[in-house]
């Protein structure tokens, strides 16, 4: 979930991950400052050596960020999927909750895959935005044929797949690995989970060190963008924020539909009950901080405390309702920047990978989740990941919709699960 902070419930578990933060304000200031310095440098005829040094510094920081993606995603996939599988074994309520979570992620991914390209055709990316691809290799964007794509789903050498950042076979392998762990004797499963827990924490420490230098790296990268694009870079960032936020709005509205149809709450009543929780969500940008307000909203809706007190804390830990929709929106935006054509087959793969990662990635601060969740999707779809290093600096703006949509959907799912459980109880009697 791309919230400012989303630890806590997860942080109380046996395999909790360390908490790290991105210096958000400094990074955003570095982005603006770097773009401005680049524009001024281009107008003043700054020596090419300045741009070369900025490119070197930014490129080193970008590679340091990329090197953690594969091992961290492996650890998060295994830990998150095992956690979800074990939760599903708790009982009917948990299984229904997870079924709704899967539906929301798939629906969000499908909506973005259809409407984000349409939106970008109607409102094209501003001129000069291609400068965000300055650090991108020239060999990205090749569209595989269908048979080649299907053949790539299974790799005969998982180490080679990791070296080539082949996310499709890696994701499939770690999904199977997580399921296998839940079938092992308890002591063996605990040892393997302990390894992935340690691996995840080690990678988070490394990525924390890298992100501590984010203001320097982002300033250097933004300088090169400013030199090449001029004021068009600012227009592109505003365009990016609006289009990505539009995809998250779908999940926000879908929550009202689920509450009305599956939860039987009535649109007006649900809207009124959600206002306090939504106010907390917008002011804190944290689902965890919004948990008490969500519990209060569920009480206003007349939901049973036993359901709310089980579903909502679990949802805060493992459910990021807006992730698939908004993460794919970022990938489609970068694809438009790079001129990458996304075929229907690749789009379906993107939806599935976005959903799996969203449903399995344990709670992380938004800055970390942005890179870890979107990077694998982009790699799987043949879209460059390099622009993510700059886009993360403005993530705090789309994150408002992420948190608002997540909090609203959490309560909507709780209402649907509670109504379903009450129906079962009435039928049984």
Q: Does residue 121 lie within any of the structural domains?
A: yes
- Alpha-carbon span 63 to 49, nearest angstrom: 21
Tokens of 295: 């519990």
Length reported for the chain: 429
pLDDT for residue 378 is more than 60:
yes
Asked if residues 386 and 106 have their Cβ atoms less than 8 Å apart, the reply is no
pLDDT in tens, 389-410: 888 888 888 888 999 999 999 9
pLDDT in tens, 320-346: 899 999 999 999 999 988 888 888 888
CATH number at residue 24: 1.10.3860
pLDDT in tens, 193-210: 899 889 888 888 888 888
Enclosing domain of residue 41: 10-423
The pTM for the full model equals 0.82
Q: Does residue 5 lie within any of the structural domains?
A: no
Q: Does residue 160 lie within any of the structural domains?
A: yes
Q: Does residue 151 lie within any of the structural domains?
A: yes
- Alpha-carbon span 246 to 116, nearest angstrom: 9
Q: Does residue 86 lie within any of the structural domains?
A: yes
Q: Does residue 244 lie within any of the structural domains?
A: yes
- Alpha-carbon span 362 to 368, nearest angstrom: 11
Asked if residues 77 and 175 have their Cβ atoms less than 8 Å apart, the reply is yes
pLDDT for residue 111 is more than 70:
yes
Q: Does residue 390 lie within any of the structural domains?
A: yes
**Model confidence band, residue 1 (pLDDT cutoffs 50, 70, 90):** very low
Q: Does residue 2 lie within any of the structural domains?
A: no
Q: Into how many domains does the chain fold? A: 1
**Alpha-helical regions (H) of 285-397:** 291-300, 305-318, 323-338, 344-360, 366-380, 388-391
The secondary structure of the chain in percent helix, strand, coil, rounded to multiples of 5, reads 75, 0, 25
Q: Please give the pLDDT value at position 7.
A: 40
Would you state the torsion angle of the CA atoms of residues 409, 292, 10, 281, taken in this order, to the nearest 10 degrees?
50
Quote the longest CA-to-CA distance of the chain: 81
């Amino acid at each position: 979930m791309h919230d400012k902070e989303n630890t806590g419930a997860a942080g109380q578990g046996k395999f909790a991950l360390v908490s790290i933060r991105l210096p958000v304000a400094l990074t955003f200031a570095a982005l603006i400052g770097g773009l401005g310095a680049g524009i001024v440098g281009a107008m003043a005829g700054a020596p090419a050596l300045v741009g070369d040094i900025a490119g070197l510094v930014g490129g080193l920081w970008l590679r340091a960020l990329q090197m953690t993606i594969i091992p961290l995603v492996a650890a998060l996939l295994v830990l998150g999927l095992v956690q979800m599988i074990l939760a599903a074994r708790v009982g009917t309520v948990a299984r229904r909750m997870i079924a709704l979570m899967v539906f929301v992620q798939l629906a969000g991914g499908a909506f973005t895959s259809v409407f984000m390209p349409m939106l970008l055709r109607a409102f094209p990316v501003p001129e000069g935005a291609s400068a965000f691809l300055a650090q991108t290799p020239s060999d990205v964007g090749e569209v595989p044929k269908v048979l080649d794509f299907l053949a790539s789903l299974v790799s005969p050498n998982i180490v080679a797949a990791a070296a080539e950042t082949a996310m499709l076979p890696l994701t499939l392998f770690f999904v199977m690995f997580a399921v296998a762990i839940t079938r092992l004797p308890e002591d063996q499963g605990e040892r393997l989970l302990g390894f992935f827990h340690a691996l995840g924490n080690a990678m988070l420490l490394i990525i924390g060190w890298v992100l501590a230098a984010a203001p320097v790296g982002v300033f250097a990268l933004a300088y090169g963008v400013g030199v090449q694009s001029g004021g068009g870079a600012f227009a592109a960032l505003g365009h990016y924020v609006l289009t990505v936020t539009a995809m998250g709005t779908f999940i926000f509205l879908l929550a009202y539909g689920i509450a009305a149809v599956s939860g039987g709450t009535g649109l007006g009543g649900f809207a009124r009950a959600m206002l306090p929780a939504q106010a907390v969500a917008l002011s804190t940008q944290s689902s965890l901080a919004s948990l008490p307000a969500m519990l209060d909203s569920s009480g206003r809706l007349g939901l049973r405390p036993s359901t709310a007190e089980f579903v909502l804390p679990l949802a805060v830990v493992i459910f990021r309702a807006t992730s698939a929709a908004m993460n794919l929106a970022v990938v489609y935006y970068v694809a438009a920047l790079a001129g990458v054509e996304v075929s229907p087959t690749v789009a379906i793969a993107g939806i599935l990978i976005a959903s799996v990662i969203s449903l399995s990635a344990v709670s992380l601060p938004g800055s970390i989740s942005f890179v870890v969740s979107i990077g694998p999707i982009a790699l799987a779809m043949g879209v460059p990941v390099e622009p993510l290093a700059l886009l993360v600096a403005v993530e705090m703006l789309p994150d408002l919709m992420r948190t608002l949509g997540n909090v609203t959907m959490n309560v909507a799912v709780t209402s649907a699960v509670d109504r379903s459980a009450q129906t079962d109880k009435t039928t049984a009697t």
